[in-house]
Structure 1
Amino acid sequence: MSASTSPTDAGRLEARYPVLAELSAPARARLLQSAHWMHVPAGAMLFDDRQACEGFPFVVEGSVRVSKCAPSGRELPLYRVGPGETCIISSSCLLGHEDYNARGVTESDTLLMLLPKAVFDDMMGERPFRDFVFHLFAERIADLMQLIEEVAFRKLDQRLAALLLGKGRVLHVTHQQLADELGSVREIVSRLLKSFAEQGLVKLAREQVEIIDPPGLRRMAAEGKGAA
């Protein structure tokens, strides 16, 4: 981890987050001087439930998966943070002076810049930065509301069918990975996939799902939508 920003790093950061170029010169200088750069390998835990929030992350490369974990070990994916995006949970923890209430894990090798809490507080006094944070905050809230609707009002088989669509004819994925995406358990997802295969919707192989009947999956995914 490095606490200094090179011209190259600054250029890459501003390419991902153009709002930084809109800051006043003193604010931009302080942000870059305070930046903590982190190269994080895939599968590393960036933060966890009940952990103090140390700063505001800017993702320059890679992605971070944010999820809610139950004591049983089950996990519900909430959203992903990619280059140019923000983490709503980090924002809310910093603004509300609260600890994290979810877990963040890198999905690939990730380069990010962590802005210390004190500097984040100062940047919120800059209108472009404040508007940027709250705009993406609103977008994330909309995504989370859609997730709540999916979990509360759609059956798991419908959600699984929707998850399989749009990823190509052959998916190289494990049943556990699909279960993680749905916030379910492997045994249930395996049972549903077997049922899909018996209906001729998919063909199963080791760590592979081949889509045989896309229209059939689309019909299943659409069943019950809007029923609530």
Structure 2
Amino acid sequence: MDATETDRLSACYPILDKLSADARLRVLRSARWMRVPAGAMLFDDRQACEGFPFIVEGSVRVSKCAPNGRELPLYRVAPGETCIISSSCLLGHEDYNARGVTETDTLLMLLPKTVFDDMMNERPFRDFIFHLFAERIADLMQLIEEVAFRKLDQRLAALLLGKGRTLHVTHQQLADELGSVREIVSRLLKSFADQGLVRLSREQVEILDPAGLRKLAAEGSTKA
């Protein structure tokens, strides 16, 4: 580990500077730095958790996978954030129950399990883990609410908004984001296009009527 990496780590995770001098030194000495290319699987279902990741650059997409190949995205881990699946597995001494895949080239520091266990005795570190644990739980509760109570057309409309005028994305990618299947998403997109809300082309969705999409996201007038 060089000084630049240490500085970037501290910038992303200021909590490390609040640890005692001995604890911080142990973290830095035991750190395992990893550069991982986009699309690499960091962990998978039923795999043992070897440590706690600190993301310094890039992002990791965490999802729950069904035996039939369908995925339900749970959350993303960006620099400065934590992975609730990793922390829960470490705290509960359980294997992973989800999959983590890098979305972009990613730089991370992996804190070994034994050191993570010891750091939980440091109050600043423990408070940091549980605070972000609570935030992730709130995010997951919102996801459960959307899946259970919002129709797919509403969720698709909301997903399209806020990403710019033109989205360079495949129907399969949108389906993966929604935990659905490509055929249903393609049918909904065609319905959106017929209503003049979007224009479709190969691996591209152009937003024509943002106000209409916002209304649809709120009301869900199209039948899925």
State the TM-score bracket (shorter-chain normalisation). over 0.9
1:110 to 106, 120, 126: 106
Q: Note if 1:193 corresponds to 2:189.
A: yes
Give the unaligned 5+ runs of structure 2: none
Q: Aligned equivalents of 1:205 and 1:110: distance in 2? A: 31
Q: Aligned equivalents of 1:129 and 1:221: distance in 2? A: 39
Name the TM-score, length of structure 2 as normaliser: 0.97
Letter aligned with residue 21 of structure 1: D
- The residue that corresponds to 2:66 in the other structure is 70
1:219 to 194, 215, 218: 215
Shift of 1:168: 1.1
* Within-5 A mapping of 1:1-228: 5-223=1-219
Identity of matched residues, %: 85
Residue 53 of structure 2 aligns to a residue whose secondary structure is strand
Shift of 1:173: 0.8
Residue 218 of structure 1 aligns to a residue whose secondary structure is helix
Residue 68 of structure 1 aligns to a residue whose secondary structure is strand
Q: Aligned equivalents of 2:181 and 2:4: distance in 1? A: 44
Residue 204 of structure 1 aligns to a residue whose secondary structure is strand
Letter aligned with residue 100 of structure 1: Y
Q: Aligned equivalents of 1:63 and 1:112: distance in 2? A: 9
Give the unaligned 5+ runs of structure 1: none
Shift of 1:170: 1.0
Residue 101 of structure 2 aligns to a residue whose secondary structure is strand
Shift of 1:25: 0.5
CA RMSD across the alignment: 0.7
Letter aligned with residue 211 of structure 1: I
Residue 122 of structure 1 aligns to a residue whose secondary structure is helix
Residue 12 of structure 1 aligns to a residue whose secondary structure is helix
Q: Aligned equivalents of 1:204 and 1:177: distance in 2? A: 15
Letter aligned with residue 103 of structure 1: R
Q: Aligned equivalents of 1:30 and 1:169: distance in 2? A: 48
Q: Aligned equivalents of 2:159 and 2:191: distance in 1? A: 16
Residue 71 of structure 1 aligns to a residue whose secondary structure is coil
Q: Aligned equivalents of 2:91 and 2:122: distance in 1? A: 15
